[in-house]
Structure 1
Amino acid sequence: MKYKIGIVEDDIKIAELLKAHLKKYGFEIWICNDFTNVAEHVLKHHLQLLLLDINLPCYDGFFWCKKIRRHSTLPIIFLSARSMDLDQIYAIECGGDDYLTKPFSYDLVTAKINAHLRRSYGEYALQETKKVELEHVTINLETLKLEYHEQAISLAKNEKDILERLFRAYPNHVKRNELLQLLWDTDMFVEENTLNVNIGRARKRLRELECPLEIKAIRNVGYVLEKINDEKNH
Structure 2
Amino acid sequence: MYRILIVEDEKDIRLELKLMLENALYQAEAAEDFSDIPRLVDETAPDLILLDIQLPGTDGLKVCRDIRKKTDVPIIFVTSRSNSMDELNGMMMGGDDYITKPYQAPILLARIAAVLKRTGHNKAPENPCRFTWKGCELDMLQGTLTYEGRSEQLTRNELRICCNLFSRAGQIISREELIDDLWENQIFIDDNTLSVNITRIRGKLKEIGLENLIVTRRGQGYQL
The interval holding the TM-score normalised by the smaller chain is: 0.5 to 0.7
In structure 1, runs of 5+ residues without a counterpart are: 125-234
Match of 1:17 in 2: 16
Which runs of structure 1 show a deviation greater than 6 angstroms over 4 or more consecutive aligned residues? none
1:42 shift after superposition = 1.4
Residues 65 and 93 in structure 2, CA contact (< 8 A), matched pair in contact too: yes
Q: Distance in 1 between matches of 2:62 and 2:117?
A: 27
In structure 2, runs of 5+ residues without a counterpart are: 125-224
1:9 shift after superposition = 0.1
1:107 shift after superposition = 1.1
Q: Distance in 1 between matches of 2:92 and 2:116?
A: 21
Match of 1:32 in 2: 31
Q: Does 1:103 align with 2:102?
A: yes
Q: Distance in 1 between matches of 2:8 and 2:24?
A: 20
Q: Work out which structure has the larger RCO, using CA pairs closer than 8 Å and 6 or more positions apart in sequence.
A: 2
Query: The residue matched to 1:7 in structure 2 has which SS?
Result: strand
1:123 shift after superposition = 6.1
TM-score when normalising by structure 2: 0.53
Query: The residue matched to 1:30 in structure 2 has which SS?
Result: strand
Residue type at the aligned position of 1:82? R
Query: The residue matched to 2:54 in structure 1 has which SS?
Result: coil
Residue type at the aligned position of 1:16? L
Match of 2:83 in 1: 84
Q: Distance in 1 between matches of 2:47 and 2:103?
A: 21
Residues 43 and 68 in structure 1, CA contact (< 8 A), matched pair in contact too: no
Once the two structures are superposed, the pairs formed by residues 73-152 of structure 1 within 5 Å of their partners are 73-119=72-118, 120-122=120-122
Match of 1:217 in 2: none
1:49 shift after superposition = 0.2
Residue type at the aligned position of 1:104? Y
Residue type at the aligned position of 1:32? A
Residue type at the aligned position of 2:68? R
Residues 66 and 95 in structure 1, CA contact (< 8 A), matched pair in contact too: yes
Residues 54 and 61 in structure 1, CA contact (< 8 A), matched pair in contact too: yes
Q: How many residues align?
A: 123
Q: Does 1:53 align with 2:52?
A: yes
Once the two structures are superposed, the pairs formed by residues 197-216 of structure 1 within 5 Å of their partners are none
Taking a change above 3 Å as real, the CA distance of residues 123 and 21 of structure 1, as seen in their structure-2 partners, is: closer
1:25 shift after superposition = 1.5
Query: The residue matched to 2:58 in structure 1 has which SS?
Result: coil
Residues 97 and 115 in structure 2, CA contact (< 8 A), matched pair in contact too: no
Match of 1:6 in 2: 5
Taking a change above 3 Å as real, the CA distance of residues 123 and 41 of structure 1, as seen in their structure-2 partners, is: closer
1:5 shift after superposition = 0.3
Q: Distance in 2 between matches of 1:115 and 1:89?
A: 19
